[in-house]
């Protein structure tokens, strides 16, 4: 259900406004982790720190569903994107040949 709400929000935002942040779904990180874990079997698979202090996380499932959440320094987390067909890329292939 949340995935449908997220997709509808993203589509509406894309079509109606230039500010994607205005329509983002935001909540506590723990609530997203619980919902995505229980509803889609998604768990964090990677994360990184942005220059503004935000933490970007990719959650994915064995079935290929995925969600990207961004947690701001104030603790608020927002869903940035979600989808299907997530694949783990072999690091050797992603980095290219050694020179």
Residue 12, pLDDT > 90, answer no
Res. 19 pLDDT band, cuts 50 70 90: very low
Would 63 be classed as within a structural domain?
yes
pLDDT tens, residue by residue, 36-69: 999 999 999 999 999 999 999 999 999 999 999 9
- Rounded to the nearest integer, the mean pLDDT of the chain is 80
**97 or 32, which is more confident?**
32
Would 70 be classed as within a structural domain?
yes
Count how many domains the chain has: 1
Would 38 be classed as within a structural domain?
yes
Nearest Cα to Cα of residue 23 among 72, 99, 90, 80: 80
Would 11 be classed as within a structural domain?
no
Give residue 30's domain range: 25-86
d(CA 97, CA 90): 12
**53 or 11, which is more confident?**
53
Q: Are 61 and 45 in contact (CB under 8 A)?
A: no
Would 4 be classed as within a structural domain?
no
Which pLDDT belongs to residue 50?
Answer: 92
């Amino acid at each position: 259900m949340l995935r449908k709400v997220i997709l509808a929000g993203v589509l509406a935002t894309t079509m109606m406004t230039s500010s994607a942040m205005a329509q983002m779904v935001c909540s506590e990180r723990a609530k997203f982790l619980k919902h995505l874990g229980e509803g889609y079997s998604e768990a964090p698979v990677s994360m990184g720190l942005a220059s503004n202090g935000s933490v970007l996380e990719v959650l994915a499932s064995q079935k290929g569903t995925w969600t990207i959440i961004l947690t701001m320094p104030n603790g608020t987390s927002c869903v940035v994107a979600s989808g299907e067909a997530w694949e783990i890329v072999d690091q050797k292939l992603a980095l290219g040949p050694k020179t």
